[in-house]
Structures are given as C-alpha cells and as structure tokens.
C-alpha cells in the first residue's frame, strides 16, 4: 500500500520554506515603504530626525534641536499610515547659553564658527553669504546646539550687511546682541556700512557696538564748510566719530539757527602735527562771519572765499587771518568781499557828551575819513563807532554822509542825521537862525546828484533866565575844553568843521545877559611876530563876525589879537604849537 506520509512531509517542508521566504521579502518591502513615507513626512519641519523599523514598529532617532521638535517629530511618525508602534530614541542637542555665532572676514575668505540650531539655519546663512559675497571662500565650522535666539538668520543677515564694505572684519552674535567691526575699503564704503547698520534691527536684536576703522584717503586730506541763506553744508573727512560730532556741534553753534547738512565721511590721514578739531573750529569761526561762501582745508592749507556779513565781520575775518592760525593751518587764498546791504543806511546821533556813528559804509578808507572828519567837527566829544563795511553804496554816498555829518554838527543834543540809499534825513534843533538856514541850504544845494534832502528842524529855544557871570565863564570854558576853532592854514577863514562848535559858543553867549565878552586870537611862534599878531587879530575878528551872525549883540563883544605873546605850552613841540594856536572867550564883567 502506498504510504502518503513518505512523500507529503518533504512537500510541506518546501512549502514552509517558500512561505517564510515570501514573508521575509514582503516585510522588507513594507519596512522600506514605511521608512520612506515617515522620512518624507519629517523632511519639511524635522529634517534632523532619522528612523529605523522592525516590521511596522518605528524608532525615532537623531539630534533634536529642542523638546518641541522632538514632540512634533514623534507625533508625525505616529500618524504615518502603517506604523503600528512609534518609540522615541532621539536625543536633544546640547544647549549653549549664551548662544554665540561669529563670522570673520580675512584675506583668505570667511570663517564661520559658533553654533546654529539646525541644518536649515546653516543652509540659509551660507546661501545669504553666497549672495552677498559671491565666489568668496567659506570655512564652515559652525556646530549644532540648542538655545538660538528667535530670528537667528535675520539677525545674522543684518550683521553681515556691511561686510561688502570691509576688506577685513568680524561679526559677533551673542544671543540678541550684535557687535560689528571692520576695516572700511574707502571713505564711501565706510559711510555705506554705517548707513546699512543704521536700519532698525530685526527680531528684537540690539546693536551693542560698531567699530569701523577708516580707510586712508588718496590725495590730500580735505574738509570744507559752505554757508548760504539756506544753511550750512559740511563735507570732507573726519578721523573718527568723536571728532565728527565735535565738528558738527561747532558748526551748529556757528550757523546761527540755519540748518546744518553733514556730508562728512570717515577717513584716516590727518596731516602730522595737526589737531583736526582745532583746525575745523578755526575754519568755522571764519564761516560764522560769512553771509555766503566756503572755507576749505586741503592738507594744512586754508582757503577762504565768500561775502562777509558786514564790515565788522569783514574786519574780524581779516584780524583772524592776520594774527595767524594756531591749529597748524597755513593761509592759502582769501577772496572775501562784503555782502550787499539793502537798504544802504548810515546814521549819526548826538546825545550829551557823545556822537554815535552806525550803519554801512563802502570801504575802510571811507570809514577812516568819516572818523577823522567827525573828530574835527566834534573835538573831544566821544565818537562811538559802530559803522560796518558793505557793498551796494550808491554813487556819492561818502559825500552825502559828510554833508549829513556837517548838518549834525550845527544841531543841539538829541539830533539825528541819516543817509538811506539816496535820501539824507535831518532831525533836530538848530542853535541859531543862521545855523538853521545854513543847514537847510546845505540839504538843498550841497548834496551829490541824485540825492534828496529831507529835514525836520526847528530853532532851539534860548532859556529865559540869564547866566551869572561866573556861570557864563564856566560854561564857555567847558566848551573850549572840548574843541577849538579851526582856520584855513595861515588864513583867517574859519573852516566849516568849527561852525557847529561856534554855534554852541554863541548859544551860551546869548544866555549871558549884558556881560561883555572878549574874543582873543593866539598863534604859535612860527613866522614873524608882527605877522602872527596880525593873523591872530584877523582870526579873532572872523569869530566875532560869526558870533554876530549867530545872534550875539555886537556891542557886547570885542576882538583882539595877541599873536605869539601868550603861549600856554612850549613852542618847541608840535603839540605845544597846536595848543598855542587858539581862540579864547573871556567874560569881562
């Protein structure tokens, strides 16, 4: 009989082996599929994660950047279809506190060290550097660690924004604090780097320090300040931020409320032995006196051009340049004019013991002449000079001013004369009718062509009460102590400079009642004695005639000449001779 057991057991063994092989091969396919799908799910947000499988049981491995990432990755694989059990065998990255990242730029390229939180951050930083500095060699020594600040890549991108402007440099990030330093390629790149780092920081970052070394300039180390009605503009170089801030502060103080535009750039190369702060301060002191113009420094040379605000400013600039510059600067060129004044006004006032001159004149020579004439007309009275120099004077202005000055000399205290463009304006009280008439005629006939006289004058009232003899003499002595009668050389003709002085003498004499008055003439010892005696008498008579015309009764006065017989000083000196040439007024009773 056939024994089926003999042939079925080998068949069953073969089937079992084939089945086991089929199951084994099928398990490998399942595991590969599960692993592929799990890694695909992890790739987007958890690229750090790796997996291994035993059948459909999955084990999560890798270095997680933080616990949240661990939890998210585990959740991701657990929800992957086909996974039966998922267990976590991953570990956390080491934590860095503080979290640091450094980028160094040197002649060989870039060196990145410190830490990044994940490979995605690393890739983004490297991509940013590649775009910023294409082709540069990069040595990536960054390690993975936990503890990175939020927005790490944005903070790094901000800090590296100035690197294109550096030949060498470094960027350091410590948590949220940034420090940037570098050597600028040139002054323009220095300014561009500062501009890049002046933008608001992302992600709550704090720019702790910026230290950019200025580049050396090619050519002269220069600086300039230009001023106009619109404001002041600064350009050129400063060696550091402290110096630049000091220059800017001085400029704002000099600009007199006009805006200051700062276009200065940083650069090294200040000339040896020069204090750049002091040099620019001296230049700005000159600029403050300009209405418009430019002061520039080239190396150690100072150049000035422009229009002074007024004559006083012009003189101050000249004095500064004449006395020398203490900062090491040497004057190059100086082309300085005076700003045009409009309206063109000059004023003279007489008040008590002083004459005040103010306003604008066309030149220093004219100013000197006006002062000289004022001293001749007003003698020892104080002359307060506030006159300035300015362009824009109409033709004949000097002559008009001299006419106005003559008119003022014929008036009492509290009088004023003014020349405004081509108008000569006189206000005040004349001390006699002849003084009033002479001044009115002067304004009608004595002005240059194109000028017009305007007057508001009247007669000063003579006090009703007469002076006592002693008071009369005292008042005459006071007047004589302040001035003298001037005559043409070797002649008896009275110079018009003395008309105003004699107006005041006559005004006092009219207050002396019926007191008799002696007018005596005196000379120095030059020339023949007889001739001097004759000259002194003729001069005394000229004064007598003036006094009569000014309203003093002729029968109250006598004129006498003493020649050189009564000197008051030695005739051995010019000053003594000048003192001896005089007119005296003496009350006789």
464-491 tens-digit pLDDT:
888 999 999 999 999 999 999 999 999 9
Q: Read off the pLDDT of residues 516-530 as tens digits, 9 standing for 90 and up.
A: 999 999 999 999 999
Cα 276 from Cα 48, distance rounded (Å):
58
In this prediction, residues 302-330 reach a mean pLDDT of 88
* 364 vs 385: CA distance, rounded Å: 12
pLDDT at 27 exceeding the cut of 70 = no
pLDDT tops 90 at residue 313: no
Can you tell me the mean pLDDT for 285-294?
94
Give the closest residue to 49 by CA, choosing from 133, 119, 129: 119
What is the spatial distance between Cα 457 and Cα 431, in angstroms, rounded to a whole number?
Answer: 11
Segment 556-561 shows an average pLDDT of: 97
Which pLDDT does position 45 carry in this prediction? Answer: 83
The share of the chain scoring above pLDDT 90, in percent, equals 83
Query: 333 vs 309, which has greater pLDDT?
Result: 333
Cβ-count burial 550-583 (b if 16+ within 10 Å, e if not):
bbbeeebbbbebbbbeebeeeeeeeeebebbbbb
Distance of CA 34 to the CA centre of its chain: 76
Confidence (pTM): 0.59
**pLDDT bucket at 23, cuts 50 / 70 / 90:** very low
Q: How far is CA 194 from CA 189, 265, 334, in A?
A: 9, 10, 36
**Residue 283 Rama label (left phi>0; alpha psi -120 to 50; beta):** alpha
Domains present along the chain, CATH in parentheses: 28-92 (3.30.1340.30), 100-209 (3.40.1520.20), 222-337 (3.40.1520.20), 345-459 (3.40.1520.20), 469-587 (3.30.1330.60)
CA nearest 472: which of 506, 425, 438? 506
Looking at 222-231, 247-256, 336-345, which range is the least confident one? 336-345
Determine the distance from the C-alpha atom of residue 424 to the mean position of all C-alpha atoms in its chain, rounded to a whole number.
39
> How does pLDDT run across 491-545, given as a tens digit for each residue?
999 999 999 999 999 999 999 999 999 999 999 999 999 999 999 999 999 999 9
């Amino acid at each position: 009989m056939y024994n089926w057991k003999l042939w079925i057991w080998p068949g069953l063994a073969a089937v079992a082996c084939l089945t086991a092989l089929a199951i084994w091969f099928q398990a490998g396919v399942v595991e590969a599929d599960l692993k592929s799908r799990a890694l695909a799910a992890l790739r987007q947000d958890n690229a750090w994660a790796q997996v291994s499988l035993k059948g459909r049981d999955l084990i999560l491995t890798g270095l997680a950047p933080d616990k949240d990432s661990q939890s998210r990755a585990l959740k991701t694989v657990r929800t992957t279809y086909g996974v039966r059990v998922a267990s976590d065998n991953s570990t956390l990255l080491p934590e860095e506190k503080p979290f640091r990242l450094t980028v160094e730029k040197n002649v060989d390229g870039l060196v990145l060290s410190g830490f990044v939180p994940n490979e995605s951050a690393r890739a983004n930083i490297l991509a940013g550097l590649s775009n910023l500095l294409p082709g540069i060699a990069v040595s990536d020594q960054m390690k993975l660690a936990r503890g990175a600040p939020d927005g790490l890549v944005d903070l790094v991108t901000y800090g590296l924004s100035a690197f294109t402007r550096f030949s060498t440099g470094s960027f350091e990030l410590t948590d949220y604090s940034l420090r940037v330093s570098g050597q600028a390629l040139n002054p323009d790149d220095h300014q561009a780097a500062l501009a890049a780092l002046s933008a608001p920081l992302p992600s709550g970052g704090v720019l702790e320090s910026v230290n950019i070394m200025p580049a050396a300039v090619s050519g002269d180390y220069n600086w300039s300040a230009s001023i106009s009605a619109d404001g002041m503009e600064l350009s050129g170089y400063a060696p550091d931020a402290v110096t630049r801030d000091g220059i800017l502060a001085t400029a704002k103080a000099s600009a007199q409320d006009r805006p200051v535009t700062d276009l200065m750039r940083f650069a090294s190369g200040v000339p040896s032995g020069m204090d750049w702060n002091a040099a620019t301060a001296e230049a700005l002191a000159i600029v403050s006196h300009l209405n418009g113009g430019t002061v520039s420094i080239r190396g150690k040379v100072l150049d000035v051009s422009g229009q002074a605000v007024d004559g006083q400013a012009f003189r101050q600039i000249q004095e500064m340049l004449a006395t020398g510059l203490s900062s090491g600067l040497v004057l190059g060129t100086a082309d300085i004019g005076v700003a045009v004044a409009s309206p063109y006004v000059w004023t003279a006032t007489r008040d008590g013991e002083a004459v005040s001159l103010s306003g604008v004149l066309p030149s220093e020579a004219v100013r000197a002449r006006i002062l000289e004439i004022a001293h001749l007309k007003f003698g020892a009275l104080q002359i307060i000079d506030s006159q300035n120099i300015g362009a824009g004077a109409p033709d004949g202005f000097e002559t008009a001013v001299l006419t106005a000055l003559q008119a003022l000399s014929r008036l009492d205290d509290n009088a004023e004369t003014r020349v405004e463009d081509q108008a000569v304006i006189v206000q005040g009280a004349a001390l006699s009718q002849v003084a009033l008439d002479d001044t009115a005629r002067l304004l009608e006939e004595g002005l240059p062509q194109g000028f017009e006289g305007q007057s508001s004058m009247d007669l000063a009232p003579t006090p009703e009460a007469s002076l006592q003899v002693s008071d009369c003499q005292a008042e005459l002595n006071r007047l004589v102590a302040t001035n003298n009668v001037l005559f043409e050389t070797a002649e008896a003709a009275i110079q018009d400079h003395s008309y105003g002085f004699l107006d005041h003498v006559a005004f006092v004499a009219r207050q002396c009642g019926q007191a008799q008055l002696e007018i005596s003439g005196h000379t120095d010892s030059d020339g023949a004695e007889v001739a001097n005696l004759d000259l002194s008498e003729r001069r005394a008579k000229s004064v007598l005639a003036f006094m009569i015309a000014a309203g003093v009764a002729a029968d109250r006065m006598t004129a006498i000449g003493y020649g050189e017989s009564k000197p008051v000083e030695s005739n051995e000196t010019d000053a003594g001779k000048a003192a001896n040439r005089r007119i005296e007024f003496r009350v006789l009773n």
